[in-house]
Amino acid sequence: MDSPAYAPHADVLVTDLQTELVLLHTTSSEMYSLNEVARTIWTRLPATRAELLALLLERYEVAPTQAEQDLSALMADLQRLNMVQEH
Amino acid sequence: MAADASWSPGGPASGESDSDPVAFRSLAVRVHGEVPSSLAAALSADWQRQEVGWAAGHTVRLSLLSEPLAIGGRAITAQTQNGPLDLWADGEVFRAPGLSLETSAQGSFVGLSGAVTPALLLLAFTEVQRAAGLLPLHASVLSRDGQTVAISGPSGAGKSTAALRLLAHGWHLVAEDWAWLDPVAGQLAGWDIGLRLRPESLERFAPHLLAGAPTDAHGKRVLNPPRLGGPQPLTGAFFLNATPSPSRLELVRAVWEMVGAPLTPAARRATQAGVNRLMAALPMERIDRDELVRRLA
């Protein structure tokens, strides 16, 4: 399988505020707030990029290119903050 | 329990006969097994500071570790109130010299040898209480007329001074800096004793108490006002900090600073669920220390 797989970092604490999901990295103290679409992706982890893309297309009325862009942007943010790890 | 099969602390310590059986209830857990004799008395005393009558459905099995342990796995550093502690994580098992710790939602296993440090022992027992669903609160806690408030904030923010000033207004001390909260029942029990204050704080706010107060190793004066024992219903939390109107994210950070970061997966799951409950149900705000005293006086 050549689709990259992502998993939550073990040092991330998750707080559910109902309207948003808040991630807190325990060593860097960075925080990140997930909206509804991002929450859908986060709660599906660990998963491959292909699986996450399929989930977005199934769950939301979104064009495949848009879904790809949204997923790439989110994963870039989460990897930059060391909140997900790529396997 | 699945954890039984993977529990391999190294077997009974060969040739070590200095062990004592222990069996006691502590907050939300029931502890039993064998520990090195050198630890038995302190362990029992530290974790039975008061009987709170909470359901103790989580069993903690203690066993003796033989040394040296086969240390392996991922090196991690746990941030604790005693500073950073180095451990190795091997799946669900966490090890350090003198300690092997494995937790699940149902029960925990703690292997100990005489080499364990007090800081590691505190970490292990904090983790099992967390796995059982409790949250440790790094906060001063005071109660008056059915209202019980936690006052949290970084060291030096004035938690103890605020507590001292509120004692003069009819509030009772539940905890100076360490309490345990059952987030489902919303009940809290103080776990430490005494009030440690800078001499100038005592001189300014309660000079009549200065004469009889001993000095601790850090130059602080120690007061021992009567503690309100037993579980109290937590009705609010205040975070001492300069930020006047914090965002929701800053409140989330403040709550995690109050409860601390759990280490083991089971403790992490339970603590996250507990924090979610607090965020939904507990009134909380950031406040200046003097404003807090004015508000609650």
Contacts of A18 in chain B (CB under 8 A): 280
B174 and B29 part of one domain: no
Q: Collapse the DSSP code of B117 into the 3-class scheme (helix H, G, I; strand E, B; otherwise coil) and give the result.
A: coil
- Of the candidates A17, A26, A27, the beta carbon closest to that of B248 is on A17
The Cα-based distances of B120 to B97, B114, B138, B197 in angstroms read: 9, 12, 18, 27
> For residue B45, what are the domain limits?
2-132
Contacts of A15 in chain B (CB under 8 A): 252, 255-256, 272, 275-276, 279
B118 and B156 part of one domain: no
- Of the candidates B79, B272, B279, the beta carbon closest to that of A17 is on B279
pLDDT, residue B9, reads 44
Predicted confidence band at B179 (pLDDT cuts at 50, 70, 90)?
A: very high
Q: Which of B20, B105, B17, B107 is nearest to B61 (CA)?
A: B107
For the ranges A27-31, B72-76, B257-261, which has the lowest average pLDDT?
B72-76
The sign of the dihedral angle between the CA atoms of B213, B234, B84, B72 is: positive
Q: Flag whether residue A18 sits within 8 Å of chain B, measured between CB atoms.
A: yes
- Cα–Cα distance between B79 and B234 in angstroms, integer? 26
Domain total of chain B = 2
B223 and B103 part of one domain: no
- Cα–Cα distance between A14 and A21 in angstroms, integer? 7
B171 and B201 part of one domain: yes
pLDDT, residue B14, reads 45
B87 and B152 part of one domain: no
Q: Which of B100, B132, B164 is the last residue of a domain?
A: B132
CB contact under 8 A, B272 and A14: yes
CB contact under 8 A, B256 and A13: yes
pLDDT, residue B4, reads 37
Contacts of B256 in chain A (CB under 8 A): 13, 15, 24
B109 and B162 part of one domain: no
The sign of the dihedral angle between the CA atoms of B151, B157, B158, B160 is: positive
CB B110 within 8 A of CB B26: no
B119 and B146 part of one domain: no
Rg of chain B (C-alpha set): 20
- Considering chain A, what is the average pLDDT of its residues? 94
Complex ipTM: 0.91
Write the pLDDT tens digit of every residue in B207-253.
888 888 889 888 888 888 888 888 999 999 999 975 666 688 889 99
Question: Domain coordinates of chain A in residue numbers?
Answer: 5-80
Predicted confidence band at A34 (pLDDT cuts at 50, 70, 90)?
A: very high
- Of the candidates A15, A18, A31, the beta carbon closest to that of B272 is on A15
Whole-model pTM?
0.90
Residues 60 through 119 of chain B touching chain A, CB cutoff 8 Å: 79
Predicted confidence band at B12 (pLDDT cuts at 50, 70, 90)?
A: very low
Predicted confidence band at B157 (pLDDT cuts at 50, 70, 90)?
A: confident
Q: Which of B68, B97, B132 is the last residue of a domain?
A: B132
Contacts of B272 in chain A (CB under 8 A): 13-16
B50 and B13 part of one domain: yes
B111 and B142 part of one domain: no
pLDDT, residue B213, reads 87
Amino acid at position B9, single letter: P
Mean predicted confidence (pLDDT) in A57-61 = 95
B168 and B189 part of one domain: yes
More confident residue, B70 or B147: B147
Chain A and chain B share a number of CB contacts under 8 A equal to: 36
Q: Which of B132, B152, B182 is the last residue of a domain?
A: B132
Write the pLDDT tens digit of every residue in B243-272.
666 688 889 999 999 999 999 999 999 999
